[in-house]
Amino acid sequence: MRAARILAGSLLAFLLVEFLIFDTNLYVSVLRTDSSTGMLETYLHNERRRKVTDRNQVLAIGDSRMGFFPRYADKLGNLPYTFATIATPGSTPRCWYYMFRAVDPTARRYSAVIIPVENYDDAETWEDHANRILDLHYLIARLRWTDIPEFSLSFHDRELKWRTAFSVLLKGSIYKTDLQDFLRSPKHRLKDVRQARRDSHNWFYDYVGTTDDVTGVSIDWTKHTLTVPASFSADKKSLFQGRMLDPQPPDQGRRSAYLKYWFGKIYDYYRGSGTRIIIVRLPRGPFVRPDGPPVNLHSSVRELAAKPDVILDDEHYFDNLERPEFFFDAMHLNAPGSAEFSRALARRVSELLSSPPVQNRAQRDAF
């Protein structure tokens, strides 16, 4: 009986710690800010606390390739909309759905949201993004028990289905490493967290980035060769090789199914709210492969464009930015490129939103 009482008491203490600390915002408020969870939570926190006086707000989302910085839009000074971003390096369309839900719980905070894609054809990738377990670490603070069935079943791998379900139910299993780090130096952690809460908005807003470019790179598409400057790191050269010259994966429909599901979830979230969804194709890189994906008339974004309040922008609108002087590697805009893209995107979105909420020419032409 004594052993049973000790066991029951230990279990009760465990559950109290789990549900009162890890399953609430208490522990989230002291997360390490440079962790995947802490970084995403910082972006969301800054956007939730941003002062909004009207609904003329446009929110951008994306990953590290979304080189959009609102300060460039703000400096234009003559736009009817205020721009913001929660683009988070490493995030995915599955993350984006939960991120929108976190910063816009009524689905009525924004006039429009911007969703960037690399192409309009759902080009296949070697990675099965449905099995990206990193999504769990980004989203753990945003996931509720009621999300377990959908979130866990969105993974293809059976082991990952169980692992994600268990982790959302008992979030301490994900926070364990972070907690150990916190206990080693709680004073230092709390100082970092307070500073991030106070200043991180300015860090992100004022961030400039590198002015490095890739003007010294040359590619011979016929000979299938790549020449890079001697200063290039092995990783940087490998990224160029992979994106520009390595064989592309055969189409399995896997990427398209993934995008259709999560873009569809975002659309359903905003359906009937008056928030318009604007889809843009990002500048693809300093060079563009001549063997691009075949046109897919039934891709995720082209099918989504047929729905009300969805705007599919001209696929080639940002082609003029696909130049070596605007990129610091094979896929990321540098500081000058981000500045040009930010200004162009803000103007373009304002132009698109000035038209009535019906299918625009780009949408009609898509079919």
- 62-85 pLDDT tens trace: 999 999 999 999 999 889 999 999
The pLDDT of residue 299 is above 90: yes
In the prediction, which pLDDT does 335 show?
A: 97
Strands (E) across the chain are located at 57-60, 82-85, 112-117, 218-220, 225-227, 276-281, 310-312
Q: CA-to-CA distance for 51 and 132, rounded, in angstroms?
A: 34
In the prediction, which pLDDT does 360 show?
A: 44
Q: Which amino acid is it at 327?
A: F
Half-sphere exposure in the Cβ direction for 280 (13 Å, CA): 29
H-type alpha helices, 219-356: 234-244, 254-270, 300-304, 335-353
Strand partners, 83: 58
What is the pTM (predicted TM-score) of this model?
0.91
Give the mean pLDDT of the chain.
Answer: 91
**Phi then psi for 173, rounded to 5 degrees?**
-65, -25
Here the tokens at position 360 are: 């625009």
Per the rule left: phi > 0, alpha: psi between -120 and 50, beta: everything else, 157 is: beta
Strand partners, 312: 279
Q: CA-to-CA distance for 212 and 284, rounded, in angstroms?
A: 18
pLDDT in tens, 246-275: 999 999 999 999 999 999 999 999 999 999
The pLDDT of residue 361 is above 60: no
In the prediction, which pLDDT does 4 show?
A: 63
pLDDT in tens, 87-108: 999 999 999 999 999 999 999 9
Mean pLDDT of 130-144: 96
In the prediction, which pLDDT does 16 show?
A: 56
- Residue entry with tokens 């939570």: 41
Per the rule left: phi > 0, alpha: psi between -120 and 50, beta: everything else, 311 is: beta
All residues at 6 or more sequence positions from 358 whose CB lies less than 8 Å from its CB, including other chains:
308
Domains in the chain, CATH or no CATH each: 17-49+130-209 (no CATH), 57-124+212-367 (3.40.50.1110)
In the prediction, which pLDDT does 357 show?
A: 58
**Phi then psi for 242, rounded to 5 degrees?**
-65, -45
- Do the strands 310-312 and 276-281 form a parallel or antiparallel pair, or are they unpaired? parallel
Taking CA atoms, 30 is separated from 26, 89, 140, 177, 195, in Å, by: 7, 21, 14, 13, 11
pLDDT in tens, 328-344: 999 999 999 999 999 99
In the prediction, which pLDDT does 321 show?
A: 98
Burial degree of 220 (CB within 10 A; 0-12, 13-18, 19+): exposed
Here the tokens at position 302 are: 């082209």
Q: CA-to-CA distance for 219 and 228, rounded, in angstroms?
A: 9
